[in-house]
């Protein structure tokens, strides 16, 4: 396995990320060694909160939440998934299967021997973290999730499968702006009932864009900015500038990816989301849902009301997972997809209440 490592110099002078690095070495299926990075903040003997990020971000996403959580006496552990942040980055698309990510993070969890964990996950952090809970149940005390899911879609109609696969193989590569338009159009055309149609646009955009404009996307999605500046950045990007007029936030989210060769994780992982009966990991997802159908530890949902990706996703859990009963589920207003950036205090308070800390 060819493995890349982002130079430390790329992370110099990041805004609001003063955290000391911690590294754990694990082994891959072929005996290669992978280094996984995490931050470890707060009292060493405090209740552990494991915060896992999604695609295409890294543990920088949790920098605004760390002060709230540690002030409440919690110990915050936030790893970078393999392929992201300061963790190593396998260079091949085939390295990034859903199952390998679960296995890699399971090794990392066992080596660090964290127990009595409160898990928090969003986006791919939930997809991977919920599978960790199912595989390492004894290590977890409770679960809090936001804007994520445990996708399992064995009954999508054949005509939808055919339409998605035809789009993936035959449609032109979306641009950043046509991707946003087409995702909205696909969801509206299906009445929001067939997530695979809209999500296929994101999958195709990520895989076929050689050098994803990650910093620009995060900045445009999460940072307030004057309309003229937003229009200028959009125009410059259309003219070929990957990261026009980057903010400190944009620079931080681009930092792990100094060249296109480093971006295989963010490019490949959307295609691993099991949205169709033909998707990989379908059987493993079925087994995970069998586990959660009898999961009685607390599971609390804190989804936003306006996430274009996972709107209504809490309905898959509430009432279906026994541990959701009588829990203080919360709808966070106006947080969009990356709630850690836009509503860090609100989502931190959900976690603090769940643990019973700070009272």
- The strand pairing partners of 35, in sequence order, are 25
Cβ atoms of 270 and 55 within 8 Å: the answer is: yes
Cβ atoms of 8 and 55 within 8 Å: the answer is: no
Q: Which residues contact 189 (CB under 8 A, 6 or more apart)?
A: 197
Map tokens 């949205």 to a residue: 275
Q: Give the separation between CA 186 and CA 305, rounded to whole angstroms.
A: 20
**Which amino acids are annotated catalytic?**
123, 307, 337
Sign, CA torsion 190/192/195/200:
positive
Q: How far apart are the first and last CA of the chain?
A: 49
Cβ atoms of 173 and 249 within 8 Å: the answer is: no
Nearest to 89 by CA among 320, 338, 258, 302: 258
Q: Give the separation between CA 16 and CA 263, rounded to whole angstroms.
A: 23
Q: Give the separation between CA 207 and CA 180, rounded to whole angstroms.
A: 15
DSSP state string for 1-57:
--EE---GGGGTT-TT--PPPEEEEEE-TTS-EEEEEEEEES-TTSPEEEEE--TT-
The two three-digit tokens of residue 226, written as one number:
């004057």
Strand, coil or helix: 206: helix
Q: Give the separation between CA 305 and CA 302, rounded to whole angstroms.
A: 10
Q: Give the separation between CA 159 and CA 293, rounded to whole angstroms.
A: 30
């Amino acid at each position: 396995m060819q493995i890349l490592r982002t130079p430390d110099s790329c992370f110099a002078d990041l805004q609001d990320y003063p955290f000391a690095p911690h590294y754990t070495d694990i082994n891959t299926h072929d005996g290669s060694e992978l280094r996984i990075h995490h931050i470890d903040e707060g009292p060493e003997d405090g209740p552990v909160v494991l915060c896992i990020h999604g695609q295409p971000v890294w543990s920088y996403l949790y920098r605004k939440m760390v002060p709230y959580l540690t002030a409440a006496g919690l110990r915050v552990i936030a790893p970078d998934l393999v392929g992201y942040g300061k963790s190593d980055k396998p260079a091949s698309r085939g390295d990034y299967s859903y199952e390998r990510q679960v296995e890699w993070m399971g090794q990392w969890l066992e080596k660090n021997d964290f127990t009595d964990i409160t898990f928090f996950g969003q986006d791919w952090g939930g997809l991977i973290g919920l599978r960790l809970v199912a595989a390492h149940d004894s290590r977890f005390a409770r679960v809090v999730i936001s804007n994520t899911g445990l996708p399992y879609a064995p009954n999508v109609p054949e005509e939808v499968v055919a339409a998605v696969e035809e789009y993936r193989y035959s449609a032109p590569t979306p641009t950043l702006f046509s991707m946003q338009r087409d995702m909205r159009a696909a969801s509206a055309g299906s009445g929001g009932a067939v997530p695979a149609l809209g999500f296929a646009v994101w999958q195709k955009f990520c895989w076929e864009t050689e050098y994803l404009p990650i910093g620009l996307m995060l900045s445009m999605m999460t940072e307030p900015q004057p309309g003229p500046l937003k229009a200028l950045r959009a125009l410059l990007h259309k003219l070929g500038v990957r990261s026009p007029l980057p903010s400190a936030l944009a620079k931080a989210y681009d930092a792990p990816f100094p060249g296109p060769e480093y971006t295989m994780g963010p490019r490949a992982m959307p295609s691993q989301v099991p949205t169709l009966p033909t998707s990989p990991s379908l059987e493993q997802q079925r087994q995970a849902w069998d586990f959660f159908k009898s999961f009685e530890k607390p599971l609390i949902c804190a989804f936003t009301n306006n996430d274009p990706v996972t709107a209504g996703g809490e309905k898959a859990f509430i009432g279906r997972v026994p541990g959701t009963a009588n829990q203080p589920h919360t709808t966070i207003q106006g947080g969009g997809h990356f709630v850690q950036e836009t509503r860090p205090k609100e989502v931190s308070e959900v976690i603090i209440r769940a643990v019973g800390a700070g009272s």
